[in-house]
Amino acid sequence: MRLAHWAVNAPLRPLLLAVFTASFVLPAQAADLITITRDALDNNAALASARSEYLGVEAGRDVARGGLLPQINASGTVAHNEQYESQSSSRAGTGSGTGNVSAGDDRYNTVALTLEATQALYDEVTRRQVTQAERQIDQQVYLLAATEQQLLIDVASAYFDILRAYEVLEARFAQERAIGRQLEQAGEQFEVGLIAITEVEEARATFDQSRADRIAAESNLQVAFEALEQLTGQRYASIEALGDSMPIALPEPSSRDYWVEQAIERNPQVLAQQAGIEVSRSGVEIARAGRLPTLSAFGNYQYGDSDIDNTTGNDSSSQVGIRANLPIYTGGSTSASIRQGTYQLESSQYDFESQRRSSIQQVRSLYTQVSNDVETVEAREQAIVSNQSALEATRAGYEVGTRNIVDVLNAEQNLYNAIANYAEARYDYVVNLLSLRQQAGRLDVDAIEEVNAWLTGDEVNFTLPESGDNDRYEPALNIGAPPQPGT
| Cα separation, 130 vs 342, whole angstroms | 19
- pLDDT at site 90: 58
Helix ranges restricted to H, 192-289: 197-232, 256-266, 268-289
Contact status, residue 52 vs residue 44, Cβ threshold 8 Å? no
- Phi, psi of 70, rounded to the nearest 5 degrees: -60, 145
Q: Give burial (CB, 10 Å; 0-12/13-18/19+) of 143.
A: buried
Please tell me the distance from the alpha carbon of residue 381 to that of residue 418, in angstroms, as a whole number.
8
pLDDT for the residue 20: 35
CA separation (Å) from 295 to 62, 117, 132, 300, 331?
21, 14, 21, 17, 22
| DSSP sequence for 352-388 | HHHHHHHHHHHHHHHHHHHHHHHHHHHHHHHHHHHHH
SS3 77: strand
Mean pLDDT split into 10-residue runs, the chain, 487 residues = 38 33 45 93 93 95 94 94 71 50 67 95 95 96 96 95 89 83 78 78 84 87 86 88 89 91 95 96 95 95 84 84 93 93 96 96 96 94 92 87 82 88 93 95 94 88 54 45 51
Query: Three-state SS for 468?
Result: coil
Element (H, E) at 129: helix 124-191
- From CA 349, how far away is CA 347, in angstroms rounded? 5
What pLDDT, on a 0 to 100 scale, did the predictor assign at position 23? 32
SS3 295: strand
Q: How far apart are CA 413 and CA 394, in angstroms?
A: 12
User: If we measure between CA atoms, which residue out of 364, 434, 360, 426 comes closest to residue 149?
Assistant: 434
Pair 284, 342: CB distance under 8 Å: yes
d(CA 209, CA 336): 67
Give the model's pLDDT for residue 474. 44
What own/partner pairs with CB < 8 Å and gap ≥ 24 does 406-414 have?
Answer: 406/199, 406/202, 408/182, 408/479, 408/480, 409/179, 409/182, 409/202, 409/203, 409/206, 411/387, 412/175, 412/178, 412/179, 412/182, 412/479, 413/175, 413/179, 413/206, 413/210, 414/387, 414/390
Residues 138 and 192: their CA atoms lie apart, in Å, by 81
**Which DSSP category does 96 fall into?**
S
Q: Which fold has domain 3-64+126-287+334-477?
A: Outer membrane efflux proteins (OEP) (1.20.1600)
Helical segments of 7-102, H only: 17-20, 33-43, 45-65
What is the C-alpha separation between 20 and 174, in angstroms, rounded?
Answer: 13
Burial class of residue 73, CB neighbours in 10 A (0-12, 13-18, 19+): exposed
The domain ranges of the chain are 3-64+126-287+334-477
The identity of residue 260, as a single letter, is V
Q: What does the alpha-carbon distance between residue 282 and residue 275 come to, in Å, rounded to a whole number?
A: 11
Q: How far apart are CA 259 and CA 250, in angstroms?
A: 12
How much is the pLDDT for 7?
A: 39
